[in-house]
Amino acid sequence: MNDIYTTNVKILGEGTPIIYELESNDMEYIDFKEVSIGLEYSKKIKLLNKSKIELNVDLVEGRKGELENNFITYIPNSFKVKPKHYQEIEIKFLPKTRVPKFVSELNIKVQG
């Protein structure tokens, strides 16, 4: 009646590095060059997940509001990427007025 029973529980785990990259080094610089006011221009980049785990990704402007002020938008801005898969990111430029030459940053924040 007062017997003690024991059960073994095996605990397994693995710490795995987060490995991601753009499909090509050329995608690190998006140059729309000179474009016509009122016309939309679009470029796509691919973010590859080379990790063993799903990644949670947020795209964040280097300086808040700078891309919007230069008529740049991007979609999606938050997403998940399964292991060994990729996510396409579309960056659009639709100048509504004259825009002086600019350089802005879009940062990729990744969490596993």
Task: Give residue limits of the domains in the chain.
Answer: 34-111
Arithmetic mean of pLDDT over the chain: 94
Q: How confident is the model at residue 2 (pLDDT cuts 50, 70, 90)?
A: confident
Tokens matching residue 26: 């050329």
Residue 28 pLDDT > 90: yes
Share of the chain above pLDDT 90, in %: 90
If you search the block for the tokens 């990744």, which residue do you land on?
110
Entry pTM:
0.83
Task: Give strand ranges (E) for the chain.
Answer: 20-22, 41-49, 55-61, 72-75, 78-81, 86-93, 106-111
- Nearest Cα residue to 84 out of 44, 32, 49, 37: 49
Q: Please name the residues in contact with 35: beta carbons below 8 A apart, sequence gap of 6 or more.
A: 41, 93, 95
In the prediction, which pLDDT does 3 show?
84
CB 81 within 8 A of CB 50: no
Q: How confident is the model at residue 1 (pLDDT cuts 50, 70, 90)?
A: low
CB contact burial 78-102 (16+ within 10 A = b; e otherwise):
eeebeeeebbebebebebeeeeeee
pLDDT tens digit string along 44-78? Answer: 999 999 999 999 999 999 999 999 999 999 999 99
CATH architecture assignment, domain 34-111: Sandwich (2.60)
